[in-house]
Amino acid sequence: MPMQFCEDHGALVGCLNGETLRIEAWGKDSLRVRSTMLPEIQKPDWALTEKVPAEKTAVSIGEADHWVGDGTIDKRPIASIENGRIRAVVNFAGVITFYRDGKQLLQEYFRFYEGTVSKESRCLKITSREWKGIIGGDESSLKVRFEAIPGEKIFGMGQYQQPYLDLKGEELELAQRNSQVTVPFLVSSEGYGMLWNNPAVGQVTFGKVYTEWIARSTKQMDYWITVADTPKQILKQYTDVVGRAPMFPEDRMGLWQCKLRYRTQEEVLSVARQYQKEGIKIDQIVIDFFHWTVQGDWKFDKTYWPDPKAMVDELHSMGIKVVVSVWPSVDRKSENFAPMMEQGLLIRTERGAAQTYDYQGDCVEIDPFNPKTREYVWNVCKKNYYDLGIDAFWLDNSEPDYGVYDFENYRYSQGPALTCSNLYPQMYSRIFYDKMKDLRDGQVVNLLRSGWAGSQKYGNVLWSGDVPSTFEALYDQVQAGINIGLAGIPWWNTDIGGFMTDDVNDPDWQQLLIRWYEFAVFSPIMRMHGDRGPYNIPPLDTRDWGGGYLHTGQPNELWSYGEENFRIMKKYYDIRIGMHDYIRDLFREASENGSPLIRAMFYEFPEDKACWELQDQYMWGSEYLVAPIFHLNQFERDVYLPAGKWEDTRDGKIYEGGQTVHVDAPLDAMPVFRKKVS
């Protein structure tokens, strides 16, 4: 029985063997593709939240010649839908082929006796969309396969801790973890972008034979595909439909100060006063975790923070915004645990005890999919933080950070965690964004460790998580920063120097710190943070709870690492402040067309084949070429300069582009070139 086609309000609809397929225009030169084994297409738009103008589409339904296999040809149904430069053709077996400007671009992978689109490997019995029902529910596991494109390069997909910019040949878990941020949008060197518009836990494999997307539990296939001539245009069309970051506030484009962890009100004020004395303006200071009593109380421990309102007022008088850490975990000892548990505001476990997190307590994490949870948590945090003048929230552990990542054991009000857990950090952020956008000046800038497609709309600054303090990790962060920008999230940063440091007195680590700091100057957000050893600072008291018992790290201010390192960091701080207007323009561009601040070389030079191979240098906007240093005791490196004239910002020397140059890289002078405008 072949697929039966019809047109529905400009959309192409096909039905076969219980599956309903729907393809429709969704933005400029773009199509949205959905299918389900349920009676009808489901309603959630997931990341595709923006209103898009109606596009003039052409739907065609007819017949085409089909090779039967015995040398004869018969007629079978075929249908197509066209929206501008993109066209999808669906054959009688439901196999989809996409075309760009009339040329075949991407085709589903199908190897079966009947309905094959080729004469090869028909005995494999592989369908392009493989549904397997999950016993006991209306969800299914789903696999969707596409033919691989020879020579294709794939970028984006969020943030993964690995040393590869080009993701071709990789298998990526579609799940949120500490330092892993799944944002399932890719940019292809073949001139298309694709969003896997499904928050289910799963994986994607960009293989040499085929690409395979897997959702472990879902009710519907949903993806969006667009075509364009350049990555910049692809990002614009993508952010047209999922949304863009708002304009970033100018008073937070400088230095953010943070450490693990400021334990008292006086410690925070003393640090701020010292910065003022040194003549260094910090835009924000962060009060990290366990300033509270127990997890889930979401309030200052009065023993060590006796008058937080007075503290905030003094910091504000210095022009410093104040950020406090909020975790989604609620300890059984918390005053909020019983009412939240009774009202069903916490994550449920399918089996065993009600526990999802076990760091420094017996905790269950909140369920932000539940609007009542969002209201409850905001009301507590507004009373205990926001009403005191707190400006922003560090929404840590926002994956959430499960004690064990057994997604099949957790359930939200939205449904099983397997079906939607990748959306958790975005819903967590909206506890605060949805209220704060209508209060004070409406400028919301909260710091999160995770996000999903569209998180850029909700005032989210993402950072790369608790990464090691190694040169290898620094290299990985450059790949992560470029790829998460290509996935539509421009507000991003790292812990300068990495998070995990054993000995701050180690000169090798201090060299890493300087190299990382230089990179951070040319990053969207410049933030000092880290867990700095050795751990020889005694706790403030002997209680096993409250703001005084947990360990803290060594000092982590600019002056904490000796005079010479302070000189270098102050020099690069001045460089950052001197770029204020340029950085402001980059943030504005991100809000207007979705362009990231950290850009792959090919983003600005798509016609230069060499730029598609580079991953150890990047563009900072359209003008600056940044070449970080990734090895201990490395004081020179090669830099590729695309066509044009380039000025070394350190000495003013002019280079002709279209060549690789070898330049010095002393510890206090990372190579940065500025493109000369004719």
Which pLDDT value is given to residue 677?
Answer: 86
In DSSP notation, 13-63 reads EEEETTEEEEEEE-STTEEEEEEESSSS-----TT--S-------EEEEEE
The answer to whether position 81 is within a domain reads yes
Domain co-membership, 59 together with 10: yes
Domain co-membership, 434 together with 538: yes
Check pLDDT > 60 for residue 492.
yes
The answer to whether position 337 is within a domain reads no
* CA–CA distance, 416 with 419 (Å, rounded to integer): 6
The answer to whether 256 and 525 have CB atoms below 8 angstroms apart is yes
Domain co-membership, 102 together with 163: yes
* CATH, residue 162: 2.60.40.1760
Global pTM value: 0.97
Domain co-membership, 479 together with 395: yes
* CA–CA distance, 76 with 155 (Å, rounded to integer): 37
The answer to whether position 360 is within a domain reads no
* CATH, residue 430: 3.20.20.80
Check pLDDT > 90 for residue 451.
yes
Three-class DSSP category at 641: strand
User: What angle do the packed helices 471-486 and 507-521 form, to 10 degrees?
Assistant: 20
The answer to whether position 490 is within a domain reads yes
Sort 268 into a burial class: Cβ within 10 Å, 0-12 / 13-18 / 19+. buried
Mean pLDDT, the chain, rounded, equals 96
| Enzyme catalytic residues | 396, 399, 466
Share of the chain above pLDDT 70, in %: 98
Contacts of 649-657 with CB under 8 Å at 24 or more apart are: 649/624, 649/673, 649/674
Domain co-membership, 496 together with 577: yes
The answer to whether 22 and 12 have CB atoms below 8 angstroms apart is yes
Check pLDDT > 60 for residue 114.
no
pLDDT-based confidence at residue 1 (cuts at 50, 70, 90): confident
The answer to whether position 412 is within a domain reads no
How big is the CA angle at 301 (ends 546 and 298), to the nearest 5 degrees? 90
Total number of domains constituting the chain: 3
Amino acid in the structure at residue 518: E
For 381-398, write each residue's pLDDT tens digit. 999 999 999 999 999 999
Q: CA of 44: how far to CAs of 48, 55, 199, 420, 446, in Å?
A: 9, 21, 11, 11, 26
Q: Domain boundary residue among 225, 242, 259?
A: 242
The answer to whether position 334 is within a domain reads no
Which pLDDT value is given to residue 121?
Answer: 59
Q: Domain boundary residue among 242, 276, 311?
A: 242
Q: Domain boundary residue among 547, 577, 593?
A: 593
Which pLDDT value is given to residue 73?
Answer: 79
* CATH, residue 655: 2.60.40.1180
Check pLDDT > 70 for residue 379.
yes
Which pLDDT value is given to residue 124?
Answer: 87
* CA–CA distance, 294 with 361 (Å, rounded to integer): 8
Domain co-membership, 182 together with 289: no
Beta-strand ranges (E) seen in 488-587 are 492-493, 500-501, 526-528, 531-532
For 291-327, write each residue's pLDDT tens digit. 999 999 999 999 999 999 999 999 999 999 999 999 9
For 429-445, write each residue's pLDDT tens digit. 999 999 999 999 999 99
Mode of pairing for the β-strands spanning 645-648 and 624-626 = unpaired
Check pLDDT > 70 for residue 122.
no
User: What angle do the packed helices 580-593 and 231-242 form, to 10 degrees?
Assistant: 70
| Cβ neighbours, 10 Å, residue 606 | 18
Domain co-membership, 564 together with 580: yes
The answer to whether position 363 is within a domain reads no
Check pLDDT > 60 for residue 118.
no
What is the Cα Rg of the chain in Å? 26
Calculate mean pLDDT across residues 505-529.
98
How big is the CA angle at 584 (ends 489 and 165), to the nearest 5 degrees? 35
Domain holding 177, by residue range, is 4-242
Sort 446 into a burial class: Cβ within 10 Å, 0-12 / 13-18 / 19+. buried
Calculate mean pLDDT across residues 548-567.
96
Q: Which residue has the higher pLDDT, 626 or 124?
A: 626
Domain co-membership, 584 together with 614: no
Domain co-membership, 186 together with 263: no
For 44-99, write each residue's pLDDT tens digit. 999 999 999 999 999 999 998 876 666 677 889 999 999 999 999 999 999 999 99
pLDDT-based confidence at residue 137 (cuts at 50, 70, 90): confident
Which pLDDT value is given to residue 125?
Answer: 87
Helices (H) and strands (E) counted in the chain, each on its own, are: 12, 41
Check pLDDT > 60 for residue 119.
no
Domain co-membership, 105 together with 199: yes
The answer to whether position 619 is within a domain reads yes
Domain co-membership, 604 together with 641: yes
Which pLDDT value is given to residue 123?
Answer: 84
Domain co-membership, 113 together with 97: yes
